[in-house]
Amino acid sequence: MAPTLEGSDDALMPDFPRGPLHAYRARASFSWKELALFWDGADMLHFKKTLFSTLENDPLFAQQRGGDVSIEKYRELNFLRCKRIFEYDFLRVDDMLGSPLKVLGLVTCLGMYDWSLATKVLLHVLTFGSTIYSSGSERHFKYIPKVFNMEIFGCFALTEVSHGSNTKAIRTTAHYDPTTEEFIIHSPDFEAAKFLVGNMGKTATHAVVFAQLYTPGGQCHGLHSFVVQIRDPKTLLPMPGVMVGDIGRKLGQNGLDNGFSMFHKVRIPREDLLNRTGDVTREGTYVTPFKDSRQRFGASLGSLSAGRVVIVAMSIVNLKLAVSIALRFSATRRQFGPTDEEEIPVLEYQMQQWRLLPYLAAAYALDHFAKSLFLDLVGLQQGLLENDRSARQAELGREVHALASAGKPLASWTAQRGIQECREACGGHGYLAVNRLGDLRNDNDPNCTYEGDNNVLLQQTSNYLLGLLAHGDPGGARFQSPLKSVAFLEAYPALLGQRFQGASLKDCLDSSVPLAAYEWLVCYLLRESYEKLNQEKKSGSNDFTARNNCQVYHCRPLALAFLELTVLRRFHEHTHQPGVPPPLRVVLQRLSALYGLWSLSQHMALLYRGGYFSGEQAGKMVESAILALCSQLKDDAVALVDVIAPPDFVLDSPIGRANGELYKNLWTTILQESKVLERASWWPEFSANKPVIGSLRSKL
């Protein structure tokens, strides 16, 4: 049963003002309030409303994002807002443990307002603080209260100038000195400087620093993490031996101070090694509970999987904001019509529907995936904290890692393409900075890069799948997994023999059709990748070269198709479950079908090449089904946006406001901009100082 608010839904979700969007809202096939309640639940809706209302009523948050202020002023403002978030204490520690989705809700709601603020809070509490909690032990818990009262401020220092994705090659060192029971943190040269580290530029007093651990005798035990003080909290001046600075302006998120640091033989106590995966005794002996060094390395980078899972949600927030702006614009922007006297909303055009509605469906599908994967991560981390060494726990870790490694690329790239499509779909108005689509595009862009380059990360997922095929018995129980994301591979041989069964357009209007096609597609790409890898090895290539030569047309599409299948399966199961209120079933199942068919259509050539499709009718049927679903969802589009869009104050886009007064909102905002009606300060350069034509032409 869906939760109810017992009559208080009007206070929690007030009706929108009547206006140009009312016609679409009146035609919706469902109640947007009922869907919001089903999608988020009453508790989360209350949490979001409290947070958004608080920000709107606090003058400190009145000026949105960077605007025309200097970077220095923007960063000061961002830090003051960060402090204010702690003062409001929206989410207590016990709330985090009892309602983990509120952690994700806090990050995404702050991100809707300004990603510079959200990322600053995220890096301090969830990345720095959580890494200490999950990678350390009881001796490190002294830092946790200092994180939450901002006595210290943290950052996560892994990336270096010369190394990012190849974490094993990180060059910062930590040599243990048993005579003083200290580690000596050192950067051998500037290429080993920590770089691009959020919060490090101006704010952080402490860092989780990743370095190669050496014990006496010179033995290297690989990458480990250490808590290192980099600034004095009382003065924010660097600690002795630490060079720390700011890397300057970025393409976006300039309220966040990304920085660099170098260490010159900085000594820290032995106890500041985060020791959950490995420790050093007072005498200098290295000890670890892991027998396999690869397992220890994977566990030590567990915080990266957490970061990737959060980035999935961050990316989809950007997509949700963009489609909210573009669809409200499209429902009120009128151009052309069947007669010269009648103009119709551009949303009525099939082309506009085809451009935007699949991204609306993707926003819903990937939002559900982001939340479910976050809960999977919480389960994994709970097992780690309880020192669960079971085979299931190890398999769960591998599965979450594989899903996060492909989830980040799929979500960030989908958002990247979707935001650009929304920008173009809004024409010239979409190019105005005040309408926010440019900021969304720039703020989303780093999601494609940090916590691992997307194309590199996809190799983690394809390696996971290839490993299953190499070590398992096709058709056997080896393909069972804790989250069941690869359970379908139990039928691997049989699935390869299946063919498209759709006999009519109606057959294709359910997500079970693309779901079946995706299962075949993943099996086909897995077989092709496996055979290609073996072929490369037989031809004399070593493992490194062989895998490198398999990426472009084999392993990369394999990883993406597998993740698209996983997203679709979870969304299909969610929208077809008995607990979906009857009035919502049709619209949610249409979204599921549209997402599945639209994603699948990008693999049409593979479906034909592998023999799953044959004849022109199959491809035409998929295309017709996509257009039919777009047409069916067109009248529901505004109401679907109303469910996922934040209040106008947070959305901050004149063309995307809930009242639909497109031109009035835009005109008012333009006229309120600084000096829009003033004469240019350099007007004499035009009026008095005319050019002498040819006066500077060379006389040679």
* Residues 6+ away with beta carbon under 8 Å from 582: none
What is the rounded distance in angstroms from the CA atom of residue 579 to the CA atom of residue 677?
Answer: 57
- How many other C-beta atoms are found inside a 10 Å radius of the C-beta of residue 236? 13
Residue 515, SS3? helix
What is the rounded distance in angstroms from the CA atom of residue 666 to the CA atom of residue 663?
Answer: 5
Task: Go through 153-169 and write b for each residue having 16 or more CB atoms within 10 A of its CB, e for each that does not.
Answer: bbbbbbbbbebbeebee
Q: What is the Cα gyration radius of the chain?
A: 27
Task: Identify any residues that bridge with 173 across adjacent strands, giving them in sequence order.
Answer: 186, 212
CA distances to 493, 508, 512, 563, 603 from 500, rounded to whole Å, are: 16, 10, 12, 21, 14
Report the sign of the C-alpha dihedral through residues 232, 235, 239, 243, in that order: positive
What is the rounded distance in angstroms from the CA atom of residue 490 to the CA atom of residue 464?
Answer: 16
Q: Select which of 182, 399, 451, 519 is catalytic.
A: 451
What is the rounded distance in angstroms from the CA atom of residue 426 to the CA atom of residue 436?
Answer: 12
Please return the burial class of 648, using the count of CB atoms within 10 Å of its CB with bins 0-12, 13-18 and 19+. Answer: middle
Using DSSP bridges, classify how beta strands 173-177 and 258-263 pair: parallel, antiparallel or unpaired: unpaired
* HSE toward the beta carbon, residue 271, CA cutoff 13 A: 7
- 451 catalytic? Reply is yes
- The enclosing H or E element of 104 equals helix 100-113
What is the rounded distance in angstroms from the CA atom of residue 304 to the CA atom of residue 204?
Answer: 20
What is the rounded distance in angstroms from the CA atom of residue 510 to the CA atom of residue 590?
Answer: 7
Token pair for 69: 């202020």
Q: Among 19, 130, 149, which Cα is nearest to 86's? A: 149
Token pair for 408: 């980040």
Task: Go through 219-231 and write b for each residue having 16 or more CB atoms within 10 A of its CB, e for each that does not.
Answer: eebbbbbbbbbbb
What are the phi and psi torsion angles at 617 (to 5°)? -65, -35
Q: Are 263 and 228 spatial neighbours (Cβ–Cβ below 8 Å)? A: yes
Please state the separation of Cα 184 from the chain's center in Å. 35
Task: Identify any residues that bridge with 184 across adjacent strands, giving them in sequence order.
Answer: 175, 267
SS (H, E, C) 374-390: HHHHHHHHHHHHCCCCC
What is the rounded distance in angstroms from the CA atom of residue 578 to the CA atom of residue 121?
Answer: 38
Q: Which residues are catalytic?
A: 451
